[in-house]
Structure formats: structure tokens, C-alpha cells
């Protein structure tokens, strides 16, 4: 497949993922409000507590999912059908093993925690038990489905992935109505209907994979070497995920320790803006990640590096277009959303937006490391850097640092981790570190400075209000797009962007 064909596929897949995102986000906001109203605060809280207990081991399953998808993608890149069949079979076997382990742990430690530590009203314990069991079965379906979803992503069938997601969201919308009108126990019914949704999607995806992919057959097999390498990749990926949980939760605990729960609320509210912005880059990266891995499998390192640089840079630029107006109008937007804006939330939000952007820059580097497979040395360097967030923040807060100190520290360390990740890839995938600095990081900093200048002038010269928001948003969009095209992109990248726009916006051709 030529570079031009790959670019068209990436553009098409990105467009499909954005359609999926807009639909699922729109329906998701509505259903979350309706289900909260239908269940009430107590039952809704119980469901989240019980679901949280069950999902504690999702970090293991998520790591194994990444490993399985990596191996399927590598096999596709090598264009070896027999090897692909073997990899898929080993992936199924690995997930069955994980499912058994999760079932044993959850049904022992999970139930023990539910009955001894979970704060649940006595009259809702029976309902909580059944919700727990239903949630366990639902999670087992998710575990067994990993190789099939990995095959869909590795084959880059983003259209099918988008359809499955939309079907899932529509069924959840129907569930909300059913729960709202029922006279039976709403909590148990909600859990049962969600399980039914997962079950339907599970069988639909099984049938789709069976018909579309020759390797996708639900059977178990054993290959010691492949399974060992899968577990090794999953272990080191899990180490990175645990580190992420460690420093993010560490920051939460520090804020609580020094400033109390009200400041936790301010930080949590502000972080939601970063989570929304992340959606815009994650869809683009989801479309590009399989191509990065396939190029590694074919030893096409130049093409791989170009995709990594493009994914990192484009993700940042895509987020920057939204971040600039959000940065300046954070107070207004939070006021419209919350009515009463918690103290410090504006500053948390502004810093959180930049943290999200640089985490998006690092993601393609993580995909490259996973494509290589041996993460041991990479994680030994990067994880200790990330884990510095909590102790450094603690020292500064001890010295009377402000609450936002934690976000400043995290931003600086995430940027350091980006450089460290790129440096470690020199020997792993032959990535030129200085080339990454010049083509990605330098471009990012120059574009950011240029993009902020004109909106900053509008922000200073006008009073806060809806008019300034409209004018600043328009100026920010023009400032960002011009800066990105003139400073941030090469001529070939401009062509790539234009092709993406044409695929998403047919009228753009005219």
C-alpha cells in the first residue's frame, strides 16, 4: 500500500471516528442526566461504587488488550496469515487466562470489600450483590472480546468500530427509558439491561470478525514464546498504567492533604475540560496507530518516524485550536457551566489543557515503544521521571506552594517525559532524537507562541462577556490555523491536512 493510500485511509478513519465521537458524546451527556434522575443519587452512587470494585483489575485487561492488538498488527504488517492465525489464537488463550484470574480475585477480594468496607445502605445490600455479579459477567464479556476488538482496530475497520459504538449508545438510550418507566428495582434492571447490551454487542462483533477476518476464530492454542512475549509487553505496559494512576492519584491526595476536599472539587472540575479536549486527538491517533505498528513490522522506519512525528504534532495542533479560546475564556465558560466557579479552578483548567496536549504528544512515542515490544529499558527510564510528580509537588507545597503547584510540576515533568521517551526510542526503533526535537517540539513551541499573540491582545483590550468570547474565539481560530499552516507544517503535511479536510467536508473541494 502506497503512502498516498495510507494517508487516505488515515483521513477516512479519522473522519469516521469523529462522527462516532460527536454522536456518542451528545447522547452520552443526555443519558447520564436521565439515568441519574431515574436511579436517584443513592442507587446511582451504589452502581458506581460496585462498578468501581469490579473494574479495579481493568488495568491488567487494558494492558493485555494493547499487547494483543500490537501482535495482531505486527502479524498483519508481515502479511503472514498462518502467523496471524497463531497470534490471534494465543490472544484468545491469554484473555481466557485473564478472565479466570479476574473471576477468582473479584469473587473473593471484591466481595470481601463490598461487604466489609463499601458504604452502602443496609436495605440495598441485596441489590448491590446482584449488581456486583452482573457487573462481573459483563466484565468477563469485555475480557473475552479483546482479541476481536483488537482485530477490528488492527485491520483499521474504523467504520465498523464506529457503528458498534453507535449501536451501543442507542441501546443505552433505550435502557434509560426502560429504567425510567419501570416499577421494579431500577438498579438491578439497569445492570441487567447494560449486561444485555454488552452481550448483544459481543455477539455482533464475533459474527463480524468471523465473516471478515480469516484468523478470527474463537479457539484456544498454546505457543510458549509468543505468550511469554505478550505477557512481558502487557506487564511493562501495566507498569506504565500503574505509574499514571500513582502520580495522578498522588496529586489528588496531596491536594486533599494540604487544601481539603473543596480544592479537590476545583481540580476535578477543571480536569474535565482536558478530558473533553483529549477526545479530539485520541480519535486521530487511533486512526494512525495501526500504521505506525505496521511500518515497524515491515522495517520501514522512515515511514514509521514520519507517522510518529505527524501524529504527535497534528494531535497537539488539533487540540491547540480549541485550547486557545478555552484558555482565555476559562472563567466565562466555567461560570456558564457551574454558575458558581470554585476558587482556583480556572488556573487548574488552564494548566490542565496544556498537560493534556503534551500527553497527546507522548502517546505516539508510547505506541512506537510498544511496536518494538521490549519495554523494559524504556519504562525503567520514563516511569521514575513520571513518579517524580508527587514527591516534587509535596516538597514545594511544604514550602507554602500554591494549589496550582501540582499542575505546574506535572506539566514540566510531562514535557521532560516526552523528551525522555523520544531519546529512549533511538535504539529501539532508530528514531533520530534531534530530528524529533526540530520537527516536533520546536515547531510546537513556535506555533504556540504565535497562536497566542492576537487572542491575548483581544483578551486584554476587551471586557469579559459573550461578545469578547465570540471575537476572541474567531481570532483564535484564524491565529491558530494560520500559525499552524505557515510555521508548523511542511509542504507535504499541508497536502495531507487538505486531503483530510476534503474527506470530512465534501464542500471543501469546491
pLDDT surpassing 70 at residue 3: no
Confidence of residue 24 (pLDDT cuts 50, 70, 90): low
Closest Cα partner for 134 from 198, 216, 89, 62? 198
Model confidence over 218-233: pLDDT tens digits? 666 666 776 676 666 6
Per-residue pLDDT, averaged over 406-410, amounts to 89
pLDDT digits (tens, 9 = 90+) for 138-164: 888 888 887 887 778 777 787 777 788
Torsion sign across C-alpha atoms 204, 230, 374, 242: positive
Band of residue 64 on the pLDDT scale cut at 50, 70, 90: low
- Flag the least confident range among 27-31, 226-230, 329-333, 392-396: 27-31
Q: Can you give the pLDDT at residue 100?
A: 86
Judged by average pLDDT, the poorest of 236-250, 352-366, 393-407, 477-491 is: 236-250
Alpha carbons 443 and 484: distance in angstroms, whole number:
9
With 60 as the cut, is the pLDDT of residue 346 above it? yes
Do the beta carbons of residue 157 and residue 290 sit within 8 Å?
no
CB 437 within 8 A of CB 289: no
CA distances for 166 relative to 24, 191, 198, 220, angstroms: 7, 20, 13, 30
Q: What is the pLDDT of residues 258-284, one digit of tens each?
A: 877 667 667 766 676 666 777 767 767
- Assign 449 a pLDDT band (cuts: 50, 70, 90): very high
* Residue of 158, 196, 175, 440 lying closest to 288 (CA atoms): 158
pLDDT confidence of residue 405: 87
pLDDT per position as a tens digit, 87-137: 788 778 877 887 888 788 888 887 887 787 666 788 888 888 888 888 888
Residue with the larger pLDDT of the pair 394 and 374? 394
Tell me, yes or no, if the pTM score tops 0.85. Answer: no
Mean pLDDT of 358-382: 86
* pLDDT tier, 56 (very low <50, low <70, confident <90, very high otherwise): low
Higher pLDDT, 257 or 346: 346
φ and ψ of 463, to 5 deg: -80, 155
Angle between helix axes 3-54 and 158-181 (nearest 10 degrees) is: 30
Distance from C-alpha of 16 to C-alpha of 162, rounded to nearest angstrom: 7
Residue 436 pLDDT > 90, yes or no?
yes
* Residue of higher predicted confidence among 388 and 12: 388
Residues in the chain: 510
Residue in the structure block whose three cell numbers are 477468582:
104
pLDDT at 307 over 70: yes
pLDDT score for 507? 46
The pLDDT value given to residue 417: 93
Query: What pLDDT is stored for residue 146 in this prediction?
Result: 79
How far apart (Å, rounded) are the C-alpha atoms in residues 189 and 64?
31
pLDDT value at position 345?
82
* pLDDT > 90: percent of the chain: 17
Task: Please give the residue that has the higher pLDDT: either 313 or 251.
Answer: 313
338: cell is 457551574
340, burial (CB in 10 Å: exposed 0-12, middle 13-18, buried 19+): exposed
Domain limits, the chain = 1-222
Residue 130 near residue 191, CB atoms below 8 Å: yes
CA distance 147 to 94: 9
CB atoms under 10 Å from CB of 438, counted, come to 12
CA gap 500, 288 in Å, rounded: 13
d(CA 224, CA 497): 44
Q: Please tell me whether residue 120 adopts helix, strand or coil conformation.
A: coil
Cell of 426: 533511538
Average pLDDT of the segment spanning 489-494: 82
| Average pLDDT of span 288-302 | 82
Cα→Cα distances 467→337, 353, 453, 461, 482, Å: 18, 23, 19, 12, 23
Residues in Cβ contact with 247 at an 8 Å cutoff, skipping those fewer than 6 apart: 386, 387, 389, 390, 410
Q: What is the rounded CA–CA span in Å between residue 111 and residue 103?
A: 11
pLDDT band at residue 457 under the 50/70/90 scheme:
very high
Residue 489 phi/psi, 5-degree rounding, is -110, 150
The angle that helices 125-144 and 58-78 make with each other, rounded to 10 degrees, is: 10
Read off the pLDDT band of 2 (50, 70, 90): low
CA separation, residue 450 to residues 158, 172, 281, 308 (Å) = 35, 44, 21, 24
Cell reading at 43: 442507587
How far apart CA 150 and CA 167 sit, in angstroms, is: 19
Are 124 and 43 in contact by the 8 Å Cβ rule? The answer is yes
Q: What is the mean pLDDT of residues 2-9?
A: 60
How confident is the prediction for the chain on average, in pLDDT? 79
Q: Is pLDDT above 50 for 317?
A: yes
Q: What pLDDT, on the 0 to 100 scale, is given for residue 41?
A: 62
Q: Which value, in Å, is the radius of gyration of the alpha carbons in the chain?
A: 24
In tens, the pLDDT along 181-217 reads 877 888 888 888 888 888 888 888 888 888 888 777 7
* Whether residue 245 has pLDDT greater than 80: no
CB 240 within 8 A of CB 383: yes
Question: Torsion angle, CA of 175/180/181/185, rounded to 10 degrees?
Answer: 90
Q: Sorting pLDDT into bands at 50, 70 and 90, what band is 480?
A: very high
pLDDT over 90 at 239, yes or no:
no
Q: Return the pLDDT at 214.
A: 78
CA distance linking residue 6 with residue 282, whole number of Å: 18
pLDDT at 363 over 80: yes
What's the mean pLDDT in 472-488?
Answer: 92
260: left (phi over 0), alpha (psi -120 to 50) or beta: left
Q: How far apart are the first and last CA of the chain?
A: 28
Closest CA to 240 of 382, 355, 362: 382
Q: Which of 215-219, 394-398, 498-502 has maximum average pLDDT?
A: 394-398
Q: Quick one: cell of 51?
A: 462498578
* pLDDT score recorded for residue 118: 67
Amino acid at each position: 500500500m502506497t503512502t498516498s493510500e495510507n494517508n487516505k485511509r488515515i483521513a477516512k478513519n479519522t473522519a469516521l471516528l469523529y462522527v462516532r465521537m460527536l454522536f456518542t458524546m451528545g447522547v452520552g451527556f443526555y443519558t447520564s442526566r436521565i439515568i441519574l434522575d431515574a436511579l436517584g443519587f443513592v442507587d446511582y452512587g451504589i452502581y458506581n461504587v460496585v462498578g468501581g470494585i469490579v473494574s479495579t483489575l481493568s488495568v491488567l485487561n487494558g494492558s493485555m488488550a494493547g499487547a494483543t492488538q500490537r501482535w495482531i498488527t505486527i502479524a498483519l504488517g508481515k502479511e503472514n496469515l498462518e502467523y496471524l492465525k497463531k497470534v490471534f489464537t494465543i490472544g484468545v488463550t491469554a484473555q481466557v487466562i485473564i478472565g479466570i484470574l479476574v473471576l477468582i480475585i473479584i469473587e473473593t477480594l471484591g466481595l470481601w470489600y463490598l461487604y466489609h468496607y463499601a458504604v452502602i445502605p443496609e436495605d440495598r445490600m441485596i441489590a448491590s450483590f446482584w449488581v456486583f455479579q452482573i457487573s462481573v459477567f459483563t466484565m468477563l464479556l469485555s475480557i473475552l472480546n479483546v482479541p476481536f476488538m483488537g482485530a477490528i482496530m488492527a485491520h483499521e475497520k474504523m467504520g465498523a468500530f464506529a457503528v458498534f459504538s453507535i449501536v451501543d449508545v442507542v441501546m443505552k438510550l433505550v435502557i434509560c427509558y426502560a429504567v425510567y418507566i419501570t416499577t421494579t428495582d431500577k438498579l438491578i434492571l439497569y445492570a441487567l439491561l447494560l449486561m444485555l447490551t454488552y452481550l448483544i454487542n459481543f455477539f455482533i462483533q464475533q459474527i463480524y470478525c468471523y465473516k471478515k477476518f480469516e484468523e478470527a476464530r474463537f479457539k484456544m492454542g498454546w505457543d510458549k514464546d509468543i505468550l511469554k512475549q505478550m505477557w512481558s509487553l502487557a506487564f511493562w505496559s501495566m507498569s506504565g498504567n500503574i505509574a499514571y494512576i500513582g502520580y495522578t492519584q498522588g496529586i489528588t491526595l496531596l491536594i486533599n492533604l494540604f487544601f481539603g476536599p473543596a480544592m479537590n472539587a476545583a481540580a476535578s472540575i477543571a480536569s474535565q475540560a482536558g478530558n473533553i479536549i483529549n477526545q479530539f486527538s485520541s480519535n486521530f491517533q487511533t486512526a494512525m496507530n495501526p500504521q505506525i505498528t505496521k511500518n515497524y513490522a515491515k522495517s520501514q522506519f522512515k515511514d514509521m518516524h514520519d507517522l510518529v512525528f505527524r501524529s504527535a504534532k497534528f494531535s497537539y495542533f488539533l487540540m491547540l485550536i480549541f485550547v486557545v479560546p478555552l484558555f482565555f475564556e476559562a472563567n466565562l465558560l466555567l461560570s456558564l457551566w457551574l454558575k458558581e466557579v470554585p476558587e482556583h479552578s480556572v488556573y487548574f483548567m488552564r494548566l490542565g489543557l496544556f498537560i493534556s496536549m503534551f500527553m497527546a504528544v507522548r502517546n505516539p512515542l508510547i505506541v512506537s515503544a510498544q511496536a518494538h515490544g521490549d519495554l523494559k529499558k524504556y519504562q525503567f527510564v520514563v516511569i521514575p521521571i513520571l513518579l517524580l510528580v508527587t514527591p516534587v509537588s509535596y516538597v514545594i507545597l511544604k514550602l507554602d506552594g500554591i494549589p496550582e503547584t501540582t499542575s505546574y510540576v506535572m506539566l514540566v515533568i510531562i514535557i521532560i517525559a516526552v523528551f525522555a521517551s523520544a531519546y529512549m526510542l533511538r535504539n529501539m526503533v532508530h528514531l533520530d532524537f534531534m530530528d524529533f526535537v526540530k520537527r516536533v517540539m520546536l515547531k510546537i513551541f513556535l506555533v504556540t507562541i504565535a497562536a497566542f499573540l492576537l487572542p491575548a491582545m483581544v483578551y486584554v483590550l476587551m471586557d469579559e462577556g459573550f461578545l469578547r468570547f465570540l471575537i476572541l474565539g474567531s481570532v483564535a481560530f484564524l491565529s491558530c490555523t494560520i500559525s499552524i499552516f505557515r510555521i508548523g507544517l511542511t509542504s507535504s503535511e499541508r497536502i495531507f491536512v487538505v486531503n483530510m479536510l476534503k474527506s470530512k467536508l465534501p464542500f471543501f473541494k469546491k
